[in-house]
Chain A
Amino acid sequence: MKKAQIEIAGLLVIVIIISIVLFFGLLLSSGRSEEPSQAEFFDLQIASTIMPTIMESSTNCTPQTNSPYYTNKELLDVCVRNTGFICQGKNACELLEDIINQTLTKILNKWQVSYFLNISLRDQTNSIINTLETNNCSQVRRNFIREPLIIPTRMGSVIADFKLCQ
């Protein structure tokens, strides 16, 4: 083998080694991004439990004296039936929006998570309450979507579409 050929072979070995190092480097770094991070794990937990829990919690409004407080789920039923119920100078839908907004803001801001919530009757595009959203969460590509929560009411099923994002 000529000397020039040996030198080219040596060069080739170096190029192959560099390629292997780069290949493994890329492989490891790409594999890493596909694993769910701790923040993702955290968000998935919250996304699946927060809305059902909020809907079961009590409001500070009662249908009449000496009866138990409405839960948010019951207030939603009053809201979709449009019964003319007024509490603290607000109708049921306004009140529900205030309560949900305050609760979500109180905890999710503390945990530094953004959210999107839209509540509407099934087969209807109009929201029952104004859409609640922080930091353009619905536009963020990587958000954590729980399957929409279906809440039965006397006017049909209500869909709560809730998303969390980082």
Chain B
Amino acid sequence: MKKKAQIQSGETIIVLIIVMILLILGLVFYSSFQGESRQEERTREAQINAMSIALRTANLEELRCSQIVQRLERCIDYYKLDLTPDIINQNFEKYFSFFGNTNVTLHFVTNPEGNLKDPVNIYSYTGNFTRQSIPSFLPIIIRDPVERINYFGYLEVRVLT
């Protein structure tokens, strides 16, 4: 009788252990999934934010093409590029609310007249950061209204956190 009771309590303990293992496995799986999806969500948010900044940069009055001669979507004026990065640097506080914790760079991809022009750093966040997001890219036209050349380029925006 005593031996039978011992076997029965052993069975109960085994069942409890199995249930505990299942619960722990479920919790581990769920928490790792939640962690991954939170990470993905953060990355996606950073990219959406970066793309939003790229689009706003293309429409920034200090950079965008004059719409009088030719209406081009996503167009940056070549000559404004000479001045605007300096203006932004000198008024960093003002532009921080616009660009935030980002690095915004303009790259030239084509040049009908020969050598590719160097990338232009439009805005650089100067504060501390531990990681940077996957960059977002926005294809864009850089218009030289004097020579009437449209360079093909892209804006690269990295969010720093």
Stretch at the interface among A16-24, A78-86, A117-125, A155-163: A16-24
Number of B interface residues in the complex (CB < 8 A):
38
Binding-face segment, B86-94, B124-132, B148-156: B148-156
CB of B92 to closest CB in A, whole Å: 28
Find out whether the CB atom of B138 lies under 8 angstroms from the CB atom of A21: no
Query: Given contacts A42-B136, A50-B139, A107-B109, is CB(A56)–CB(B150) below 8 Å?
Result: yes
Which B residues, 23 to 49, have Cβ-Cβ distances below 8 Å to chain A?
A: 25-26, 29-30, 33, 37, 40, 43-44, 47-48
Q: How far is the CB of A19 from chain B (nearest CB, A)?
A: 11
Closest to A32 in B: B37
- Whether, in the assembled complex, B60 has its beta carbon less than 8 Å from a beta carbon of chain A, the answer is no
Q: Which chain A residues border B159 with CB–CB below 8 Å?
A: none
- Encode A20-42 as 1/0 by CB contact (under 8 A) with B: 01001100110010010110011
CB of A100, distance to nearest CB on chain B (Å):
10
- Chain A residues lying within 8 Å of B26, measured Cβ to Cβ, are 21, 24-25
* Residues from chain A with Cβ under 8 Å of B141 in the complex: 53, 56-57
A10-B15, A46-B139 given; A69·B148 CB < 8 A: yes
Known A56-B150, A59-B112, A69-B112; judge A38-B137 contact (CB<8 A).
no
CB distance from B18 to the nearest CB of A (A): 6
CB within 8 A of B22: which of A10, A18, A58, A60? Answer: A18
**Chain B residues within 8 Å of A145, by CB:** none
Main SS class of interface, B: mixed
Interface: A49 (CB within 8 A): yes
B73 → chain A closest CB, angstroms: 7
> When each residue 65-91 of chain B gets 1 if its CB lies under 8 Å from chain A and 0 otherwise, what string results?
000000011110000000000000000
In the assembled complex, the CB of A54 is this many whole angstroms from the nearest CB of chain B, namely 6
Contacting residue for A38 out of B25, B43, B150, CB 8 A: B43
Q: How far is the CA of A46 from the CA of B155 in the complex (A)?
A: 12
User: Contact between A37 and B148 (Cβ–Cβ < 8 Å)?
Assistant: no
A166: interface (CB < 8 Å): no
Asked if B113 lies at the interface with its beta carbon under 8 angstroms from chain A, I say: yes
CA distance in complex: A57, B150 (Å)? 5
Q: Which residues of B contact A (CB under 8 A)?
A: 15, 18-19, 22, 25-26, 29-30, 33, 37, 40, 43-44, 47-48, 51, 72-75, 109-110, 112-113, 134, 136-141, 147-152, 154
- Provide a sorted-by-A list of 17 A–B residue pairs whose CB atoms are within 8 angstroms: A10-B15, A17-B22, A25-B29, A32-B33, A37-B40, A38-B44, A38-B134, A42-B136, A42-B137, A45-B51, A45-B136, A49-B138, A56-B141, A57-B141, A58-B110, A60-B112, A69-B148
Q: A38-B43, A49-B74 are in contact. List 16 more A-B contacts (CB 8 A).
A: A10-B15, A14-B15, A21-B22, A21-B26, A25-B26, A25-B29, A32-B33, A35-B40, A41-B44, A42-B136, A45-B137, A54-B152, A71-B150, A107-B109, A107-B139, A107-B154
